[in-house]
Amino acid sequence: MPMQNVFTGKTARIMLNSTAPTPEGKDASVILKTSFAPDAPVVVGRATGIQVAVQTDLEEFHEIGHRHPIVLQPGDIHISGSLDRAYIAGGLVMLLLGRRAQQSAQPDIYVQPSFTIQLDLNDPNVPTNTAELVIDGVKFQNWGFKMPEDDVVMENVSFRALTISVIDTEDGKAQTYGFAS
């Protein structure tokens, strides 16, 4: 039977992790350990919202004499999103710029860190049922912050990703669903 839990952000966690043996993954791992916490995965604190979107470039084929498409051709898949956080620290900027964000070392050639975002959704009323969204191959695309006169200072990052999967666990049994770009 499909899960029918309703989740809220109040009982969720956003985590960052990097275990990839690539140069991008190794740089992300160092940044996560030095800027956030020494143990992986790192729980992102002060997050106020996250959005994740999967967009497909479906192509419509129209034929003379028909108003509706005759065929929908699958196109490219784009995975993207954004994260809002009520905290300003160098960690998210470092994940965007990599080694170039350091004041002392300004390398000519460097990689942009790549990592995993994991969203854990839990329902305290049904603790054996959980949903986990795993976004892999993530690279931050933009970073910005907003400093209003009468409100909390917020930073925002947007990202792109290579793959996304959902792991539904019901009564201890996991079922994985995934999409790749």
Give the pLDDT confidence of 39-50 residue by residue, as tens digits. Answer: 878 888 888 899
Residue 168 pairs in a beta bridge with 131, 175
126-167 pLDDT tens trace: 888 888 999 999 999 999 999 999 999 999 999 999 999 998
pTM of the model: 0.86
Q: Which two tokens mark 56?
A: 């497909």
Query: With 50 as the cut, is the pLDDT of residue 8 above it?
Result: yes
CA geometry: angle 86, 93, 152, nearest 5 deg: 15
Is a pLDDT exceeding 50 seen at residue 181? no
- If you ran DSSP here, which 8-state letter would residue 125 be given? T
Q: How far apart are CA 122 and CA 127, in angstroms?
A: 7
pLDDT of residue 148: 92
| pLDDT score of 113 more than 70 | yes
Per-residue pLDDT of 12-54, as tens digits, reads: 889 999 988 999 999 999 999 888 888 878 888 888 899 999 9
At 17 the pLDDT is 92
Residue 75 token pair: 């196109």
Half-sphere exposure at residue 101, Cβ-oriented, CA atoms within 13 angstroms: 18
pLDDT band at 2 (very low <50, low <70, confident <90, very high): low
Q: Which two tokens stand for residue 32?
A: 């996560």
Yes or no: say if 5 and 126 are a contact pair by the CB < 8 Å rule: yes
Q: pLDDT tier at 73 (50, 70, 90 boundaries)?
A: very high
H/E run at residue 154: strand 154-161
What single-letter amino acid sits at 173?
Answer: K
> What local confidence, expressed as pLDDT, does residue 136 receive?
95
pLDDT of residue 180: 52
List the one residue out of 89, 111, 106 whose CA is nearest residue 29: 111
pLDDT at position 100: 83
Q: Do residues 54 and 78 touch, judged by C-beta distance below 8 A?
A: yes
Q: Which residue has the higher pLDDT, 98 or 175?
A: 98
* DSSP sequence for 59-97: EEE--TT-SS-SEEE---EEEEEEEEES---HHHHHHHH
Torsion of CA 141, 119, 41, 136, to 10 degrees: -50
* Confidence (pLDDT) at 22: 93
Residue ranges of domains in the chain, CATH in brackets: 12-56+73-173 (2.30.110)
